[in-house]
Structure 1
Amino acid sequence: MAERRGESVVARTLADYAYQRIRSDIVSGALPAGSKLRLEALSQQYDVGMSPLREALARLAGDALVVVEGQRGFWVASLSLADLDDVTHVRGLIETEALQRSIERGGPDWEREVERSFEELSEAEARLSREGETAVPLWEDANRRFHEALVSACDSPWLKRLRHLLYQQSERYRRISLITSGPNRCVHEEHRAIHDAAVKRQTLKACRLTEEHLQRTAVQVRAALEAAESARGTTG
């Protein structure tokens, strides 16, 4: 019995490992949107067995990062302009509701966490400016922690769960254009403005700034997607 429990723990650990690796490669684009996920190739690439691999892919399907088509197998979820617009709109609704509740309920611990995560994000943004693409993973982690800190005092588990799912979808799109900010955009100042409004308990302002922040990112991503589509049409 102890041996079976040990095997179960190992299987879960391998499934978690496969989940994290494949998720990272989907978000970064290393596994392209719309591509078929062939189990044998993935098993070799990530050095995991079929059972933990299938478990990992099932979890990714639950995150809407992978699509399952009956007996035909698994695919990386596609990206599109229509989906970008939908994700951005719904995330704005969820994010601002969670932020409003968090600001209303957050105490000193919440404020300290928002301050700390903003400082980390500021450092990561400075590195991204200096180093470019090599600093993207560090920036993504810091960006995620900052936005999570802002909503951490929200009292609705479902709101936070839905927000997490939408954040993952937004992350895929954001990676497409992360390095190419528009000429009139300073993401650091957008984050600073959101931070300042939140800690000053200016709820409506913080929510408006957050929604504008998401919309600006969507505009930037849309331009990158349209440019990529145009380039494919030129070379096709």
Structure 2
Amino acid sequence: MPTSLPEPAASDPARTPAATVASSVYKRLRDDLLNGGIEPGVKLRIEAICERYAAGNTPVREALSRLAAEGLVERHDQRGFTAASLNLDELEALTRTRADIDVMALKDAMAHPSTQWEEQIVLALHRLSRTPRSAQDDAYVPNREWERLHREFHRSLIANCRSRWLRQFSEELADQAYRYRQCSIRNAYGVRDVHAEHAAVAQAVLAGDVERAVSLLTRHYWQTAEFIQAVAGGEKGAV
């Protein structure tokens, strides 16, 4: 298991209110946890984080507590914090829960269609299709813009859902799923036609075919889980 943080990143010196500093540390640390800047299982030493983000002890502890509440950080009695580990058993539960929540949200959105919502889906898919998955042509290098547009596309599918709770839960589950997805991208890249999967879901939604849309979206999520399991050798436990 990794035992230390990467080298501290440079950040702005600051005479800033504590609440602002805590918010900044929270956002930057959260981004690093989600995007792989800090690997799962790494011990999050308070002193190292203070140095990395040029912040004091109090705002760092506040940020870690918020992230622990979100499940991105694990708190250990008398042993501090670690970046949340990845576990195949939890992945299955996460995938099932995410599929259930997004299916409920999608069904509600499709039951109350609007021209604006349909145009949002078409535009989100178009923008995503025109953005390369990798930042390089000859090897996979994460493209942050593709990731941003990918999230926007999935948001667009349920944007017309009337329940803000379902939309909020969907966002939280998508964050957790994103961490796991980083484990499979290199293996799936060039093998899996993700654009075709997205286009098929969008087409079913726009056609008002609820059964097909639900089936395709659910399959889309489980395919990701299957790739992650393949990377881990299909064994239960930590990824």
CA drift of 1:12 comes to 3.0
Which amino acid letter does the alignment assign opposite residue 163 of structure 2? Answer: S
Could you say which residue in structure 2 is the equivalent of 1:107? 114
d(CA) in 2 for partners of 1:77, 1:127: 26
Taking the aligned partners of 1:183 and 1:135, their CA distance within structure 2 comes to: 13
Mapped to 2, the partners of 1:19 and 1:102 lie a distance apart of 32
Residues 64/126 of structure 1: CA separation in 2 closer, same or farther (3 Å cut): closer
Give the alignment partner of residue 78 of structure 1, picking from 85, 97, 102. Answer: 85
2:158 matched residue in structure 1? 151
C-alpha distance in 2, partners of 1:46/1:225?
32
Q: 1:39 aligns with which of 40, 46, 49?
A: 46
Report the CA distance shift for 1:187/1:128 in structure 2 as closer, same or farther (over 3 A). Answer: farther
Counterpart in the other structure of 1:171? 178
Using structure 2 for the length normalisation, give the TM-score.
Answer: 0.84
Q: Which residue of 2 aligns with 1:225?
A: 232
> Under a length normalisation based on structure 1, what TM-score does the superposition of the two structures give?
0.85
Specify the code of the residue in structure 2 equivalent to 1:200: A
Pairs aligned (count): 223
Q: Superposition RMSD on alpha carbons, in Å?
A: 2.5
Q: Distance in 2 between matches of 1:64 and 1:192?
A: 32
Query: Structure 1, residues 188-227: CA drift from partner, whole Å, max 9, x if none?
Result: 1000001111112211211110000001111111111228
Q: How much does 1:38 deviate?
A: 0.6
Considering fraction of residues, name the structure with more helix. Answer: 1
Deviation, 1:115, is 1.3
**Equivalence for 2:66:** 59
Runs (5+) with no aligned partner, structure 2: 1-15
Q: Could you say if the C-alpha distance between residues 123 and 228 of structure 1 is closer, same or farther in structure 2, counting changes exceeding 3 Å?
A: farther
Residue from 121, 125, 147 that aligns with 1:118? 125
Q: 1:99 Cα shift?
A: 1.0
Once the two structures are aligned, what percentage of the paired residues are identical? 33
The CA deviation string for residues 64-117 of structure 1, in whole angstroms up to 9 with x for no partner, is 111122343211111111111111111111111111111222312211211111
Cα drift, residue 180 of structure 1 = 2.0
Deviation at 1:10, TM superposition (A): 3.3
Specify the alignment match of 1:4 in structure 2: none
Most deviating of 210-219 and 28-37: 28-37
1:228, distance to aligned residue in structure 2 (A): 11
